[in-house]
Amino acid sequence: GESVGLHLPTLSVQEGDNSIINCAYSNSASDYFIWYKQESGKGPQFIIDIRSNMDKRQGQRVTVLLNKTVKHLSLQIAATQPGDSAVYFCAENAGYSTLTFGKGTMLLVSP
């Protein structure tokens, strides 16, 4: 995605809506992907992960979709709640221990 400097891409939804957050990754060798949620003043919190041999994985209210052809990852949150408001990061791992994070998307949920 585009560099937005200090201004994160923002997704605003109403409580109860489904949310979709997208991420483009850069390394075609990456084979493990993770979505993190980060609330203000806290460290990133693991949400869900997916390996490159899968194209979809579901958790509780969350689904991650992976499209390796176009190097795209998405996070779907069902029935979004105000407590879901945070910044969401995708991260990729090319088989080493270090993670490469994307720039993040801010999700704002209105009651």
Q: Measured from the CB atom, is 35 or 80 closer to another protein?
A: 35
Residue with tokens 């809506």: 17
Distance of closest approach, residue 16 Cβ to another protein, in angstroms: 29
Q: Measured from the CB atom, is 51 or 56 closer to another protein?
A: 51
Q: Which residues bind another protein (CB under 8 A)?
A: 4-8, 31-32, 34, 36, 41-46, 49, 51, 89, 91, 93-104
Distance of closest approach, residue 76 Cβ to another protein, in angstroms: 20
Q: Measured from the CB atom, is 4 or 79 closer to another protein?
A: 4
CA distances from 104 to 53, 54, 70, 78, 111 (A): 24, 23, 19, 19, 23
Core vs surface per residue 47-75: b (16+ CB within 10 A) or e? bbbbebeeeeeeeeebbbbbeeeeeebeb
Distance of closest approach, residue 54 Cβ to another protein, in angstroms: 12
Q: Which pair of tokens denotes residue 8? A: 């994160």
Distance of closest approach, residue 63 Cβ to another protein, in angstroms: 18
Residue with tokens 């201004």: 7
